[in-house]
C-alpha cells in the first residue's frame, strides 16, 4: 500500500539509442493503494476486477510484462 494524496508516474529509465518495438521503462508511482492482478479473458477483451471501493476513483494501469 502506498500512502499519499496524488499519483506521480515518472519515466526513470535510462535513455538509449537502441530501437525496439516495446522498450522497457521504469515508473515510480505514489498513490493511495496498489493491487497486482492478472488480466483474465472476457470475450475479445481482457478484464481485471478491482475493489468495489475503487468505483468512481481515478486509476492508472501499467502493463509489467
Confidence of residue 8 (pLDDT cuts 50, 70, 90): low
The pLDDT value recorded for residue 39 is: 96
Q: What is the mean pLDDT of residues 2-20?
A: 58
| pTM, two decimal places | 0.56
Domain-by-domain residue ranges, the chain? 1-58
Backbone φ/ψ region at 28: left (φ over 0), alpha (ψ -120 to 50), beta: beta
Between the CA of residue 19 and those of 13, 23, 24, 57, what are the distances in Å? Answer: 14, 8, 11, 36
Q: What percent of the chain has pLDDT over 70?
A: 69
pLDDT of 59 > 50? The answer is: yes
User: What does the pLDDT look like over 16-37, one tens digit per residue?
Assistant: 555 667 788 888 888 999 999 9
Sign of CA dihedral 34, 49, 51, 57: positive
Amino acid at each position: 500500500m502506498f500512502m499519499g494524496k496524488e499519483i506521480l508516474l515518472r519515466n526513470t529509465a535510462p535513455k538509449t539509442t537502441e530501437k525496439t518495438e516495446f522498450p522497457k521503462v521504469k515508473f515510480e508511482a505514489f498513490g493511495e493503494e496498489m493491487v497486482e492482478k492478472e488480466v483474465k479473458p472476457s470475450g475479445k477483451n481482457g478484464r481485471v476486477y478491482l475493489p468495489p471501493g475503487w468505483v468512481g476513483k481515478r486509476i492508472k494501469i501499467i502493463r509489467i510484462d
